[in-house]
């Protein structure tokens, strides 16, 4: 755990979140500022800064395989969007790796923007 990391504090229960799923590897909670009707963040329990630092193959696969299950649980049967912002120029604001899962509206045709 990183003591000055927002997501580590959420995972430790020191800050509130609207959690929708958790297991031994990840915690999933609602984004506080949703960019779509459904906007979840898939966050590993371990503090990994970004995609540049992740080296755990099992964790990587676990998160990828979890995404369609979460989407299905949320009723996103017609598709969803996933985003990983990496580094300041990639739009990353919280430096604890997370995958955005968005859906619920029609995101087609909106290009790369969230
Ligand atoms: P990123 O730009 O990829 O680092 O995304 C960080 C995301 O974290 C943004 O979409 C924020 O709205 C979201 N966020 C920031 N603080 C919180 C919080 N306390 N609980 C839930 N989501 C948060
Ligand atoms: Zn952290």
Span 59-70, pLDDT tens digits: 999 999 999 999
**From start to end of the chain, where are the E strands?**
19-22, 26-30, 38-44, 81-83, 99-103
40: pLDDT confidence band, cut at 50, 70 and 90?
very high
Our answer on whether the CB atom of 92 is closer than 6 Å to any ligand 1 atom is yes
Look at residue 68 in the predicted model and tell me its pLDDT. Answer: 98
Q: Where are the domains of the chain?
A: 6-105
Test site for ligand 1: of 33, 38, 40, most ligand atoms within 8 A of the Cβ: 33
Residue 34 Cα to chain centre, angstroms: 12
Which residues have C-beta within 8 Å of that of residue 105, sequence separation ≥ 6?
36, 37
Look at residue 112 in the predicted model and tell me its pLDDT. Answer: 54
Is the CATH code 3.30.428.10 the one for domain 6-105? Answer: yes
Instruction: Confirm whether 98 is a catalytic residue.
Output: yes
Percent of the chain residues topping a pLDDT of 90:
89
Find the 94 Cα to ligand 1 centroid distance in Å: 7
Test site for ligand 1: of 7, 81, 94, most ligand atoms within 8 A of the Cβ: 94
Residue among 25, 64, 65, 66 nearest 44 (CA): 25
Look at residue 1 in the predicted model and tell me its pLDDT. Answer: 72
Q: Does residue 15 have a pLDDT over 70? A: yes
Look at residue 106 in the predicted model and tell me its pLDDT. Answer: 82
Which residues have C-beta within 8 Å of that of residue 107, sequence separation ≥ 6?
36, 79, 80, 81
111: pLDDT confidence band, cut at 50, 70 and 90?
low
């Amino acid at each position: 755990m990183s003591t000055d990391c927002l997501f580590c504090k959420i995972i430790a229960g020191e800050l509130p979140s609207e959690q929708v799923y958790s297991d031994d590897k990840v915690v999933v909670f609602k984004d506080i500022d949703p960019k779509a009707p459904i906007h979840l963040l898939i966050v590993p329990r371990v503090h990994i800064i970004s995609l540049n630092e992740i080296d755990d193959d099992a964790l990587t696969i676990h998160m990828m395989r979890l995404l369609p299950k979460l989407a299905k649980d949320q009723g996103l049967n017609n598709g969803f969007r996933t985003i990983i912002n990496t580094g300041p120029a990639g739009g990353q604001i919280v430096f604890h790796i997370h995958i955005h899962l968005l859906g619920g509206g029609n995101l087609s045709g909106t290009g790369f923007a969230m």
